[in-house]
C-alpha cells in the first residue's frame, strides 16, 4: 500500500466550518511523496486549519482524508507515529533546555531507548546546538527556536512532516538555512508539507497549492503555474509611478498594478488567446493609458512570477465565486 506511486496525502472535498464561517471549503489535494509541497495563502486562508485536519487534530465537517494510506481522523492515533508536526507558534517547552526538550520528544515519540542518546547527539550536531545544549529553549533567538522545533519534529524520523508557517518569525538568513534543512529531509525520503505566505519560499517548493479564503484556487509546480500566465505580465517604468498606478487601476482588464520602486508590475486578466497579436493589442492598451499620464513611460512584457500567479489565482477564484 505504501508504494512510491501512492501519494502521501489525498483529500477530497475537505471542508471545515466554525459556526457560520467556512474556514476550508471543499479542498481536493494530492501530495506526492518525498517532495516539498507548499501551501501558499494569506493569513486566514485556511492553511493552518487544513494542516490540522490532515494530521487529525481537527475533525473535518465534510470530506475524506487519507494520509500515508491511513484514514483520518479514524486512524489518526496510528498516523501520529509516522508524522512530525511543527506548529506555527513555538510549542516546545521554554523552561526546558535544548537537550531536555529533545529527550522529552524522543521518549514521547518512541525513539528506542538505546538509540536516544545517539540520535539526540546527531541532531544537536546537525542543527548546530553543540554550545547550547544546556540553554533554556525560551532564551533562544527566533531562528534557533525554529531549528530546535524542526529537530524535535524529526527526532523519530517521520515519513511525513507538517510545517505550519515555520519561518514567519525568522530573519532571511535563518530562513535560507532552514530551507536547506527541509531539502535535506526531502532528499532523505521525507515528504514535507509547508505552509507559507512568502513568495520566495513558495517558489522553492516542488509543488504548490494556493489557498484563498478557504478555497483551493491553484495547484501545480511553480514553473507550470507561472508558465500558465504567459503574456499577462508587464513592467511599466515611469517617473510618476503612483499616478500611473492610479490610472491603470481603473483600466478594464488590469488585475493589479503593484509599485516596485520606480516601476510598476502590471498583471492583466486572462487572454482569450495567447498569441503575438493579442499580446501586442493588450500592450498597446496599457501603453495608451500610461502615456496619458506620463508620456515618457515605457511598457515592456515581463516573465510572470509567483506573485502574479498568486494575484491571478485569488482573483480568478473570486471571479468564479461571484459568477
Partner 1 sequence: MNARRLWAIVLKELRQMRRDRITLAMILGIPVFQLILFGYAINLNLRGLPAGIVDQAHTSASRALVMDMLATGVVEPSERADTPEQLMTLLRKGRISVGIVIPRDYERRRAEGRAVAQILVDGSDTAVQSAARQLAQVPITDDTLPDLRAPPTSTPPEGHIRVVAFYNPERRSAVNIVPGLIGVILTMTMVLFTAIAIVRERERGNMELLIATPLTRSELMVGKVLPYVIIGLVQTCLILALGVWLFAVPVRGWLVDVFVAAILLIVANLALGLLISTKAKSQFQATQMMIFVFLPSILLSGFMFPFAGMPKVAQWIAEVLPLTHFLRLIRGVMLRGAGLWELWPDVLALVGFTAVMMTVAIAQFRKRLD
Count of residues that bind partner 1 according to CB under 8 A: 32
Name the DSSP letter for residue 111.
Answer: -
Nearest to 192 by CA among 46, 84, 56: 84
Residue ranges in 131-150 that form contacts with partner 1 under rule CB under 8 A: 136
CB atoms within 10 A of CB 172: 11
For the residues of 189-251, what is the DSSP string, one character each? T-EEEEEES-HHHHHHSSEEEEEETTEEEEEE-HHHHHHTTTT-EEEEE-S-HHHHHHHHHTS
Do residues 236 and 298 lie in contact, with contact meaning Cβ atoms separated by under 8 Å? Answer: yes
Which one among 24, 36, 39, 87 touches partner 1, defined by CB under 8 A?
Answer: 87
Residue 77 within binding range of partner 1, rule CB under 8 A: yes
Q: In the complex with partner 1, which residue's Cβ is closer, 155 or 210?
A: 155
Residue pair 217/314 in contact by the 8 Å Cβ criterion: yes
**Does the footprint of partner 1 cover residue 198 (CB under 8 A)?**
no
DSSP state of 270: P
Tell me if 74 contacts partner 1 by CB under 8 A.
Answer: no
Give the interface segment with partner 1, choosing from 69-77, 178-186, 188-196, 244-252 (CB under 8 A).
69-77
d(CA 198, CA 22): 24
> Is residue 58 within the footprint of partner 1 (CB under 8 A)?
yes
Peptide bond into 10 cis (omega under 30): no
Is residue 130 a contact point for partner 1 (CB under 8 A)?
Answer: no
When binding is defined by CB under 8 A, the residue of 3, 19, 21, 113 that contacts partner 1 is 113
Whole-number minimum distance, CB 112 to partner 1, in Å? Answer: 10
Binder among 65, 83, 161, 306 for partner 1 (CB under 8 A): 83
Q: Which stretch binds partner 1 (CB under 8 A): 100-108, 183-191, 253-261, 288-296?
A: 100-108
* Residue of 4, 95, 131, 187 interacting with partner 1 (CB under 8 A): 95
Residue 114 or 277: which CB sits closer to partner 1? 114
Q: Does 118 bind partner 1 (CB under 8 A)?
A: no
Give the C-alpha distances (Å, rounded to integers) separating 17 from 29, 53, 313, 318.
18, 12, 23, 19
Compute the least distance from the CB of residue 182 to partner 1, in Å.
18
Question: Looking at 108, 249, 262, 288, which residue binds partner 1 (CB under 8 A)?
Answer: 108
Amino acid at each position: 500500500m505504501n508504494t512510491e506511486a501512492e501519494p502521501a496525502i489525498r483529500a477530497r472535498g475537505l471542508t471545515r466550518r466554525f459556526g457560520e464561517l467556512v474556514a476550508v471549503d471543499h479542498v481536493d489535494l494530492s501530495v506526492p511523496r518525498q517532495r516539498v509541497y507548499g501551501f501558499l495563502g494569506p493569513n486566514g486562508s485556511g492553511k493552518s486549519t487544513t494542516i490540522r485536519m490532515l494530521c487529525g487534530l481537527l475533525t473535518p465537517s465534510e470530506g475524506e482524508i487519507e494520509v500515508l494510506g491511513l484514514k483520518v481522523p479514524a486512524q489518526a492515533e496510528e498516523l501520529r507515529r509516522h508524522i512530525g508536526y511543527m506548529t506555527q507558534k513555538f510549542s516546545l517547552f521554554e523552561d526546558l533546555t535544548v537537550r531536555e526538550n529533545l529527550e522529552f520528544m524522543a521518549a514521547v515519540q518512541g525513539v528506542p531507548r538505546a538509540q536516544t542518546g545517539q540520535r539526540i547527539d546527531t541532531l544537536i550536531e546537525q542543527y548546530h546546538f553543540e554550545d547550547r545544549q544546556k540553554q533554556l529553549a525560551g532564551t533562544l533567538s527566533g531562528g534557533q527556536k525554529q531549528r530546535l522545533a524542526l529537530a524535535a519534529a524529526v527526532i523519530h524520523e517521520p515519513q511525513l512532516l507538517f510545517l505550519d508557517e515555520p519561518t514567519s518569525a525568522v530573519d532571511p538568513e535563518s530562513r535560507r538555512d532552514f530551507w536547506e534543512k527541509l531539502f535535506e529531509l526531502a532528499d532523505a525520503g521525507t515528504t514535507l508539507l509547508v505552509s507559507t505566505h512568502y513568495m520566495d519560499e513558495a517558489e522553492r517548493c516542488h509543488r504548490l497549492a494556493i489557498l484563498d479564503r478557504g478555497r483551493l484556487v491553484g495547484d501545480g509546480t511553480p514553473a507550470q503555474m507561472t508558465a500558465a500566465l504567459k503574456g499577462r505580465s508587464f513592467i511599466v517604468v515611469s517617473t510618476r509611478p503612483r499616478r500611473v498606478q492610479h490610472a491603470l487601476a481603473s483600466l478594464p482588464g488590469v488585475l493589479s498594478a503593484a509599485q516596485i520602486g520606480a516601476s510598476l508590475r502590471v498583471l492583466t486578466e486572462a487572454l482569450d488567446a495567447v498569441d503575438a497579436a493579442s499580446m501586442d493589442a493588450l500592450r498597446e492598451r496599457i501603453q495608451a493609458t500610461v502615456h496619458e499620464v506620463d508620456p515618457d513611460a515605457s511598457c515592456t512584457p515581463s516573465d510572470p512570477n509567483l506573485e502574479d500567479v498568486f494575484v491571478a489565482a485569488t482573483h480568478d477564484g473570486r471571479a468564479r465565486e461571484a459568477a
